[in-house]
Amino acid sequence: MTDRATSRRPANPWPERIAGLPPKRQELVRPVIENPRNFLFLSIRALAEKLCTDTATLLRAIRGMGFSGYPEFRRYLHELTMSRATSLDSMLASAARDSDIPSHVRDSLDQDQKNLLALQNTLDTRQLSRLAQRVWSSRRVLVLGGDLASALVFYLEHHLVMLGLPVFSATSAGRVVHLVRTAGKKDLVVAMSFHRSLRQTVDGMRQAKSKGAYTVGITDTFVSPIARFADECFIASVETCHFGDSYVAPMALLNVILVACANYRRKRVLELARDAAQEQQHGFRWYEEE
């Protein structure tokens, strides 16, 4: 894990990026932005030919959108592609699609390792320390998510409760609305959503932020609205080469957040852990042989 923040920053949504272009150039780049997967691997010369223009005109349009050049524009297209990926896209793109089951399994594990390595190479441990301090100083910690990310919400909530923190979660639209209605300046909001992001999670986070709450986003790309609207954001890839999403990296991220929180007030947490150990060893919840 490195002590440096990732160099990327939340990206503006594409309608804002092309709004400043002349109408003809807007229409030139619109097909690329709306369907980035179809153009992602093209060189600038090949892209210009496909768009029936020349490279100089295309490059002026790219720079007019705020990119330094074609390499940065391609990275943006990659982020857009990942944010719009579906389970079908993942399965169709699988390199081992014609292979046997063991090949698929190895392919999946390899991708999980890549996701973990990307998290390790970009995670800022000083940012984690600051977040731990903010968690402990907050009046309440509100954790928002939905759909598959509900599993992450419950995992984080369970462990923050074990630390003795005032945590509340919401995984449905109605619960989000009611929970953030009372959000204020002393509250911390953790919002987790991936790809295009769930409306309930984004809207809930934005409403809480408008009331003064500090918002932390967890998502997989800087073009996500979670990344754009949160006060700060952690990126963890959910990319998979097969079906569904991989939550290996987001779970690892939650684990290091919990490690930071537990050790920020280590003495108090140890006292709680000693009390919990008695129940964990002898409590009625646990199965024992007769």
Which CATH number do you get for residue 48?
Answer: 1.10.10.10
pLDDT reading at 35 higher than 90: no
Query: Does a structural domain hold residue 204?
Result: yes
From the CA atom positions of the chain, what is the Rg in Å? 22
Instruction: Give the domain-ending residue among 83, 102, 130.
Output: 83
In tens, the pLDDT along 45-104 reads: 999 898 889 999 999 998 888 888 999 888 888 887 777 776 666 666 665 556 678 888
User: Six-digit token pair at 134?
Assistant: 């903010």
Instruction: Give the domain-ending residue among 83, 101, 134.
Output: 83
Whole-angstrom Cα distance, residue 123 to residue 109? 21
User: Six-digit token pair at 4?
Assistant: 């440096």
Long-range contacts of residues 103-108, Cβ cutoff 8 Å, at least 24 apart: 104/242, 107/241, 107/242, 108/240, 108/241, 108/242, 108/246
Query: Does a structural domain hold residue 289?
Result: no
Q: What is the mean pLDDT of residues 233-253?
A: 91
Tally of domains within the chain = 2
Specify whether 132 is located in the same domain as 71: no
User: Six-digit token pair at 253?
Assistant: 């991220």
Specify whether 237 is located in the same domain as 157: yes
Specify whether 20 is located in the same domain as 78: yes
| 36 or 158: which leads in pLDDT | 158
Specify whether 130 is located in the same domain as 206: yes
Specify whether 128 is located in the same domain as 211: yes
| Distance set, CA 11 to CA 67, 181, 229, 272 (Å) | 11, 28, 10, 42
pLDDT, residue 147, reads 94
pLDDT, residue 280, reads 74
Exposure on the CB side of residue 176, measured as CA atoms within 13 A? 24
Average pLDDT value for the chain: 87
Query: Does a structural domain hold residue 6?
Result: no
Specify whether 67 is located in the same domain as 181: no
Provide the domain limits for residue 130.
121-279
**CATH, residue 177:** 3.40.50.10490
Q: What is the mean pLDDT of residues 176-182?
A: 97
Query: Does a structural domain hold residue 288?
Result: no
Specify whether 28 is located in the same domain as 170: no
Specify whether 274 is located in the same domain as 139: yes
pLDDT reading at 157 higher than 80: yes
Q: What is the mean pLDDT of residues 252-273?
A: 94
pLDDT, residue 122, reads 92
Specify whether 145 is located in the same domain as 275: yes
pLDDT, residue 92, reads 64
pLDDT reading at 136 higher than 60: yes
Query: Does a structural domain hold residue 290?
Result: no
pLDDT, residue 205, reads 98
Instruction: Give the domain-ending residue among 30, 57, 83.
Output: 83
Specify whether 146 is located in the same domain as 246: yes
Query: Does a structural domain hold residue 106?
Result: no
Give percent of the chain with pLDDT exceeding 90.
53
pLDDT reading at 260 higher than 90: yes
